Amino acid sequence: MQSDASHLPRRISLVRHGESVANVNGVWQGQGDAPLSPLGELQAAALGARLRGIAFSWIESSDLSRALRTGQSLGVPVHQNPAFREIFLGQWEGLTREEVARRFPDEVRALKDGEPIRIGGGESWEDLFVRTSAALDIVKGRIAPGDHGVVFSHGGVVTTLIAGMLGVRRRFPLPIGHVLNTSWTTLRFDGDTPLLERYNDGSHHASSRTWVNARFDAQDTLITLLAYPTDAAAPAALSAADAEHWLGEVTHVYAASTELEEVAASLAESLGAVNVVDPTA
C-alpha cells in the first residue's frame, strides 16, 4: 500500500551565480552576459560538490552564462529559463558604479529613496518581482510534495523574491542583507505558505568570509543567529576550522532558552575563550 505524500512540504532552493568578471570590475551587468571569473569557477565547483548529494527533482537556471555555468556544476541537465534573468538595467548595463553615479545622479537618488523607477529605462524592482515570482510559481507547480527543486539565478532575483516572501519588498534599503556568490537559500512550502529554511549559505567556499571585512568596520557589532532543534541529540563540538569559517571572532554566546544551554556551552567550547551568557539573566 502506497503512503500518501500529499502532506509533505515542497522545497525550492535559490542559488546565486559564482563571481563574474563584471563583479570583479565593479560593472553593472544586469542582463549583460558576463562569464564567471576564475574565483567564480572555483566557487561553482565547491557548490557543485556540496549539492550533488541532494536529489533535486527539478533544476532550472537563468539562461545567462554566469548562472547557467554555476548550475552545470551539478553535472546533470539544467532547464534554461530567461524569466530568471537578473533585472534589466537599460542604459546602466556595462557601466561602472562611478560612471552610473556621474551620468544618472537623479536616478541613483530616486532608487535609494525607494521610488519605483525603471532603472536606466529598463525594469523596476516591482517588474522584477512580478516576472520572477510568476516563474517561481511555475517551478513550484512542477515539483511534487516531498520533492526539492533548485533555481540558479542572480543576486537581485534572490533578494527580491525573499524580500517579497517576508513582506519587506518595499522597504529601502532592503533589510535582508547582501547575497553571496554561490550562496544557497531554501524556501519550504507547506501548502501555499512559504517558510525560509536556509538563507545565504555560502559555507562551501572560503570566499564567503571576505564580505565581512569588505563591508564592516572593526567597531561594528555583528550578530550571528544559529537555529538548533531542541529535540536533537547533544551537539558535537565544531572543529576550529568550521568555527572560524561560520562564526569568525565571536566573543559572546547566548542561548534563547534554558533548553539550549548545552548547545551554547558546546559552541563556546569550540570557539575557545568565549563568554557564555546566562539565558535567564
Q: What is the pLDDT of residue 244?
A: 64
Q: Which domains does the chain have, with CATH numbers?
A: 10-215 (3.40.50.1240), 223-281 (no CATH)
Q: What is the pLDDT of residue 1?
A: 46
Tell me phi and psi for residue 257, to 5 degrees: -155, 165
Burial of 252 (0-12, 13-18, 19+ CB in 10 A): exposed
Q: In tens digits, what is the pLDDT along the chain, a chain of 281 residues?
A: 455 677 899 999 999 999 999 999 999 999 999 999 999 999 999 999 999 989 999 999 999 999 999 999 999 999 999 999 999 999 999 999 999 999 999 999 999 888 999 999 999 999 999 999 999 999 999 999 999 999 999 999 999 999 998 888 777 667 777 899 999 999 999 988 899 999 998 888 888 766 666 666 666 666 676 766 666 665 556 666 666 666 667 778 888 777 778 777 877 777 776 778 876 66
Contact 85/154 with Cβ under 8 angstroms?
A: yes
